Amino acid sequence: MSIDLLMVVINIVLGMLFIKSKGKGCNFLSGYNLATSEDRSNYDEVAICNYVGKTILLWAVFFVIGAVVDYFYQGFGIKLAFSLLIIALAYYIYIRYKKFDEKFKIAK
């Protein structure tokens, strides 16, 4: 249960840092940080950071659920939380690669 709660704190801190970064957190996104400044100017970096921050905050909910389940069934909650995280990561990767442009590209 302590691992679940530690993951909750880590995810909340990271999520809030991305949201409060006002677009500067994009430097920590894999792939996006390698794009040229000309390519990066075509995207709304504040919206990207808000989306990533809210996604990470959602992951914290998975570990809260895991902590509650661990309270009643020792060891099952952390497995559940990480399973939900893996499913969410797969969905996030799909959204990022399939719909990234339509979601975050600035219309010019």
Domain residue limits at 34: 2-104
In degrees, rounded to 5, the angle at the alpha carbon of residue 89 between the alpha carbons of residues 61 and 8 is: 25
- Residue 53 is predicted with a pLDDT of 92
Instruction: Please give the Cα distance from 28 to 44 (Å, whole number).
Output: 15
- Tens of pLDDT, residue by residue, the chain (108 residues): 688 889 899 999 999 999 999 888 888 887 787 888 888 888 888 988 998 899 889 889 998 988 999 888 888 888 898 899 899 888 878 776 777 777 788 876
- Residue 104 is predicted with a pLDDT of 81
- Residue 96 is predicted with a pLDDT of 67
**What is the tally of structural domains in the chain?**
1
